[in-house]
Chains A and B, each alone.
Chain A
Amino acid sequence: MDKIATRDAYGKALLELGRINKDIVVLDADTSASTRTGWFAKEFPERFFNFGIAEANMMGYAAGLSLSGKIPFVSSFAVFGALRTYEVIRTSVCWSNLNVKIVLTHAGISVGEDGPSHQSVEDIGALRVLPNMTIIVPADGIETRKAIFAAVEHKGPVYIRLGRAKFPLLTEADFKIGKARIIEDGKDVTIIACGLMVFEALKAREDLLKEGINVRVVNMPTIKPIDREMLIACAEETKGIVTAEEHSIIGGLGSAVSECLSEYKPTLIKKIGLKDTFGISGTPEELLKKFEIDSDSIKKAVYSMLNGKP
């Protein structure tokens, strides 16, 4: 299976966009080599601005640039870009619904060896409560490119959450903000996943099929606004829902799904994600296993759901 890091796809998408849209400007805070905004900087030095290690100020500058018609892409690592800047995103960007695109890489624990200071598992929860904010977690490089282009078409703040690791390429269908997609159908249980977890969900599905269990896998890249129709359909058509994300089970995809369904179609939901804890150092594979956010854990959740013991 072909693999590409979502941040690489981002770097390439920015280059494409830079060539066709003169309003695109890119801001980074001394992480441009890692976020891949450095590629844009090389081709368009007059439209790239490095702010040094000063994320809050960078976010404010982005707000100012957007007010004069620019489309700023702001990048850093997810922890710093979403959390150090949090109140600036809230007040300078979201309050006035400014057209700022926040694309942060190195999200989740698949960052690996750098450890908890660099593993952002709270960013979705933090940004999800901000009015006007749209949140997208692409499952692979193809979806990342589409999400970046869609973000330019969308007026208002968008957060796109990317990883460091290489992700297998899985998606092909059209991407639309706010729309989830069934990528493998089934009737027993629905697994709703985003980001790297879509791949883990597909792995779990293959194993389960051998055991005669047929699960549906839904790729839900837009966490906000959540695709309510899809959620209600899954709740009606299958026996329960397992959510999977590389984020705390508090505040992220699992919470968004729970909030929606508890109101519109109460359903049994089991959440795979970090269980209210910080990460540790290790390889991405080791960490996903240790914190039980891999295909094995998804399988266990499906079993328990089918046994009626979540």
Chain B
Amino acid sequence: MDIANLKAKAKATRRLIIEMLAEAGSGHPGGSLSCVEIITCLYFHIMRHRPEEPDWPDRDRFILSKGHSCPTLYSALALSGYFDLSHLKTLRKLGSILQGHPDMLTTPGIEVSTGSLGQGFSIAGGMALSARIDKKPSRIYVLLGDGEMQEGQVWEAAMSAAHYRLSNLTAFLDYNRLQIDGRVEDIMAVEPVRLKWESFGWDVAEIDGHNILEIIDACEKAKSSSKPSMIIANTIKGKGVSFMEGKVEWHGVAPTKEEAEKALLEIEI
């Protein structure tokens, strides 16, 4: 898909996120908006997958380790054709196929259930290992939060991916500098991030996480690496909605109908 189309998809995704969260009345806008370009590029340009055949064995896989950002993933899945767009309005409601955090048993296209931070990263490693054992062409993509990086399990998984040379594993860090209680730097500093991943044996790229060309380029480079790759994506939490951008308050609060209208007007421009 060309850049203009990807940009349009990203815009559509942002609109869907706002509409869906306003309808649900709860959920996580900040971290959903910060990873829109990453997930859009993965589903509409980078990954080999078949919405009409979700279980295609040779598909690439995406694991949303920061599961609370599922509105972005649900939008991408719906726009890809895994299920009808009308489901987005049922997010978080009783009986919905779209649970509050990703559930592989209820949502077509979800590779694995997440929501407990740190766990998805290990599972992604297991998938990459499996693909390697079977000499499958599949690449495994996983998205981590910067706060999530504080979990010990993330570093256990980082070590093992390097140890087993999982070059088919590409991770994104949604480096939006915020978590729930405040700035990552103040809560539990994670810097120097690049050095940490390099010293754990990963290939590291640093990009603007809202720049489509940079995302695609970094993923292409990761394909030829002999190590697992970490793409540090500098992002803005709440990106695209001025009153949410960089605001820790918008981590886990849904917009009201009025706020949603205001947000949608901005995304239109």
Q: Distance (Å) between the CB of B171 and the closest chain A CB?
A: 14
A68 vs B124: C-alpha distance in the bound complex, in angstroms?
11
Chain B residues with Cβ under 8 A from A25's Cβ? 133
Within 8 A of A (CB), among B122-141: 122-131, 133-134, 136
CB-based contact A96/B119 at 8 Å: no
Chain B min CB distance to A54 (Å): 4
Q: Are B121 and A60 in contact (CB under 8 A)?
A: yes
- B119 contacts A64, CB within 8 Å? no
Known: A59-B122, A60-B122, A88-B119. A65 touches B129 (CB 8 A): yes
Nearest CB in chain A: distance from B110 CB, A: 10
Contact B160 A64 (CB under 8 A): no
Contact B127 A57 (CB under 8 A): no
Find chain B residues with CB under 8 A from A46 CB: 133
Which residues on the A side are within 8 Å of B157 (C-beta)? 57, 60-61
Contact A64 B133 (CB under 8 A): no
Q: Is B104 an interface residue (CB 8 A)?
A: yes
Q: How large is the interface on B (under 10, 10 to 19, 20 to 34, 35 or more residues)?
A: 20 to 34
Q: A66 to chain B: which residues have CB within 8 Å?
A: 126
Once the chains are docked, how many angstroms separate the CA of A62 from the CA of B129?
Answer: 10
Cα of A52 to Cα of B123 in the assembled complex, Å = 17
Q: Does B113 lie at the interface of the complex (its beta carbon under 8 Å from any beta carbon of A)?
A: yes
Q: Which of A47, A60, A70, A96 contacts B125 (CB 8 A)?
A: A60
CA A64 to CA B120, docked complex, whole Å? 9
Which residues of the partner chain A approach B124 to less than 8 Å between Cβ atoms? 64
Q: How large is the interface on A (under 10, 10 to 19, 20 to 34, 35 or more residues)?
A: 20 to 34
- Contacts A70-B130, A70-B133 known; A91 to B115 CB distance under 8 Å? yes
Which residues from chain B contact A69 at a C-beta distance below 8 Å?
130
Q: Which residues of A contact B128 (CB under 8 A)?
A: 64
A60 and B131 contacting across the interface, CB-CB below 8 Å: no
Which residue of chain A has the shortest Cβ distance to B65 in the bound complex?
Answer: A60
Q: Does B164 contact A (CB under 8 A)?
A: yes
In A88-103, the 8 Å CB interface with B consists of 88, 91-92, 95-97
Task: Assess A68 versus B127: contact at CB under 8 Å? Given A46-B133, A47-B133, A96-B105.
Answer: yes
- Contact B130–A57 (Cβ < 8 Å): no
Find out whether the CB atom of B122 lies under 8 angstroms from the CB atom of A57.
yes
Tell me which of A25, A51, A52 has the highest count of chain B C-beta atoms within 10 A of its own C-beta.
A51
B111 at the interface (CB under 8 A from A): yes
Task: Report which residue of B105, B125, B126, B160 has the largest number of chain A beta carbons within 10 angstroms of its beta carbon.
Answer: B126
Question: Is B264 in the interface zone, CB < 8 Å from A?
Answer: no
Give Cα A49 to B125, complex, Å: 12
Which of B124, B157, B159 has most A Cβ within 10 Å?
B157
Task: Say yes or no: B112 contacts A56, CB within 8 Å.
Answer: no
Q: Judging by beta carbons under 8 Å apart, are A56 and B126 in contact?
A: no
A62 to B, closest residue via Cβ: B126
21 contacts between A and B (CB under 8 A): A47-B133, A49-B129, A49-B164, A51-B156, A51-B160, A52-B159, A52-B160, A56-B122, A56-B152, A56-B156, A59-B122, A60-B125, A61-B126, A61-B160, A63-B112, A64-B112, A65-B126, A65-B129, A68-B130, A69-B130, A72-B126
The 7 nearest A-B residue pairs measured at CB: A64-B126, A60-B122, A57-B156, A68-B130, A54-B156, A61-B126, A64-B123
Residues of A near any B CB (own CB < 8 A): 25, 46-47, 49, 51-52, 54, 56-70, 72, 87-88, 91-92, 95-97
Known: A57-B125, A64-B126. 16 other contacts (CB 8 A): A51-B160, A54-B153, A54-B159, A60-B120, A61-B125, A63-B112, A63-B122, A64-B112, A64-B128, A66-B126, A67-B112, A68-B130, A72-B126, A87-B119, A95-B113, A96-B105
